[in-house]
Amino acid sequence: MTDETRANEIEQEIFATELDSFVPDKILDAHSHMWTQTTNEDGIPPGFKEFDADVTMDIWRSRLDDLLPGRQQSALFLPLSIRGSIEDAELQNEWVSREAHTDPLSRPAMWISPNMDPDYVRQEVKRLRPSGFKCYHTESPRVPTFESEIPEFLPEEHVRVAHDEGLTITLHMVKERSVSVASNQHWIKYYCEKYPNMKLILAHAARSFNPAFADQGMESLQGLQNLYCDTSAVAESGAFETIIRVLGHDRLLWGSDWAVSHARGKYVSVGYSWVWIEADNVPPPRYSTQSPFVFNGLESLRALKQAARHTQLSDNQIEDIFFGNLAGVLGVEG
């Protein structure tokens, strides 16, 4: 029996034909998840259940090799803890720290929640030696959480710890129109200016699954020296082009968003929003009996290739996006 979670023939063909000559040999992934399910049976998102219960470095490498065959792979690993308990966060943080530290080029991030006392966060940083923090809106007290202001799930005291320790913070901002929303822009600027030793990474191209958001919001963030965006899961080139044009190619970091990278589907912009399309919610094309959907990670790579072409990036600049920019942020030599 074939394993449906591995790269199929069409996925292998897309990589070989379109991407093999574009993707550099050395990869430092800015946005890859790692988890252990041991006490977390209900906590892993449904889309991840078909994958591995405990993601080790070896498992992660073999999975990413399905997306980027033959590449040297390392990452900034982001824990996932969605049960809302400190115990689970601790378990996930310990797992990710231990696994990531087995690879000299990889780094762990640490899951933080507004429920965590800043002194506890500081102690855990000393104990687990993360290079960054991962926060998420599901920890916000606001209902619904996707209407949260940034400090409701990333309190200032935690940003201060990141500044003191020189850490990254990966921020998946919310509110439907994302970086085009004035209060989101305000908090990003406030944190970046007041805490220059913290490096803020805006996930999903400043969560511009619709390129109009980056187009309308990115210029307000121009000139912040500690601001970056990752490419994770975004599958249209417009937001990448805006980031390269407004912030510079040196602020864009390739991210797989494993295991979202291995879901077969695509984020598509519509109106002032976006939708996730996959075999279960879109009828099959008339000309084919097969589902046309492939790894979302491949769709995202195609979009990045298009953006690189439209903005006329050099090979060296493309290598920066896949390795050098993040290596500089994390102090990784390689």
Residues that bind Zn ion (CB under 5 A): 257
Q: For the CB of residue 108, give the shortest distance to Zn ion in the complex, in Å.
A: 15
Q: For the CB of residue 54, give the shortest distance to Zn ion in the complex, in Å.
A: 18
Q: For the CB of residue 48, give the shortest distance to Zn ion in the complex, in Å.
A: 10
Alpha carbon separation from 107 to 97, 180, 260 (Å, rounded): 8, 31, 20
Pairing status of strand 273-278 against strand 265-270: antiparallel
- The residue (of 32 and 242) whose beta carbon lies closer to Zn ion is 32
Q: For the CB of residue 232, give the shortest distance to Zn ion in the complex, in Å.
A: 6
- The residue (of 106 and 317) whose beta carbon lies closer to Zn ion is 106
Q: For the CB of residue 131, give the shortest distance to Zn ion in the complex, in Å.
A: 17
- Ranked by CB distance to Zn ion, the top (closest) residue is 257
Q: For the CB of residue 81, give the shortest distance to Zn ion in the complex, in Å.
A: 13
Q: How far apart are CA 213 and CA 210, in angstroms?
A: 6
Q: How far apart are CA 99 and CA 108, in angstroms?
A: 8
- The residue (of 33 and 71) whose beta carbon lies closer to Zn ion is 33
Give the CA count within 13 Å in the CB-facing half-sphere of 116: 31
Q: What angle do CA 309, 311, 317 make, to 5 degrees?
A: 85
- The residue (of 29 and 257) whose beta carbon lies closer to Zn ion is 257
First and final C-alpha spacing in the chain: 39
For residue 173, is it left (φ>0), alpha (ψ between -120 and 50) or beta? beta
- The residue (of 160 and 204) whose beta carbon lies closer to Zn ion is 204
- The residue (of 11 and 257) whose beta carbon lies closer to Zn ion is 257
- The residue (of 73 and 216) whose beta carbon lies closer to Zn ion is 73
Non-local CB neighbours of 299 within 8 Å, separated by 6+ positions: 235, 266
Q: For the CB of residue 287, give the shortest distance to Zn ion in the complex, in Å.
A: 34
> How many Cβ atoms are within 10 Å of 292's Cβ, its own excluded?
13
